[in-house]
Amino acid sequence: MSVTKSDPVHIDKNVLYEIGPNFWNIRVNFKMLAGLIDIGSHMSLIRLNNGKFLIINPVILNDQIRNEINRLTDNGKNIQAVIGVHPFHTLAFQTFYETYPNVEYYGTPRHLRRFTQIPWSGSLDDCNVRKKWEPEVEMRIPAGAEFINPLPESSNHFVSVFVFHRLSHTIHVDDTIIYGDHPSFLLKLVGFKHGTMAFHPSIKGPGLYPTVDAPFEFRDWMKNILKDWPFDNICCAHSGVKIGGAHQLVAELVNQAEPLFNKLSEKNRKKNPNNEIPPGNHPNMNVSGDECG
Q: Whole-angstrom Cα distance, residue 138 to residue 161?
A: 10
Under CATH, to which class is 16-271 assigned?
alpha beta
DSSP letter string, the chain: -B--TTS-S---BT-EEEEETTEEEEEE--EETTTTEE--EEEEEEE-TTS-EEEES-----HHHHHHHHHHHTTTTTEEEEE--STT--TTHHHHHHHSTTSEEEE-HHHHHH-TTS---EETTSHHHHTTTTTTEEEE--TTS--SS-SSTTT------EEEETTTTEEEE-SSEEE-SS--HHHHHTT--TT-EEE-GGGGTTSS-SSSSHHHHHHHHHHHHHHH----EEEETTS-EEES-HHHHHHHHHHHTHHHHHHHHHHHHHH-TT-PPPTT------SSS-TT-
The pTM assigned to this predicted structure is 0.88
Q: What is the pLDDT along the chain (293 residues), one digit of tens a residue?
A: 555 444 434 566 668 889 999 999 998 654 544 445 555 568 999 999 999 999 999 988 889 889 999 999 999 999 999 999 998 877 779 999 999 999 999 999 999 999 999 999 999 999 999 999 999 999 999 999 999 988 787 777 799 999 999 999 999 998 899 887 665 666 566 566 667 888 988 999 999 999 999 999 999 999 999 999 999 999 987 778 899 999 999 999 999 999 999 999 999 999 988 888 877 777 655 544 444 43
pLDDT for position 155 = 78
CB atoms within 10 A of CB 195: 13
101 and 263 Cβ atoms separated by less than 8 Å: no
Q: Whole-angstrom Cα distance, residue 201 to residue 207?
A: 8
The domain ranges of the chain are 16-271
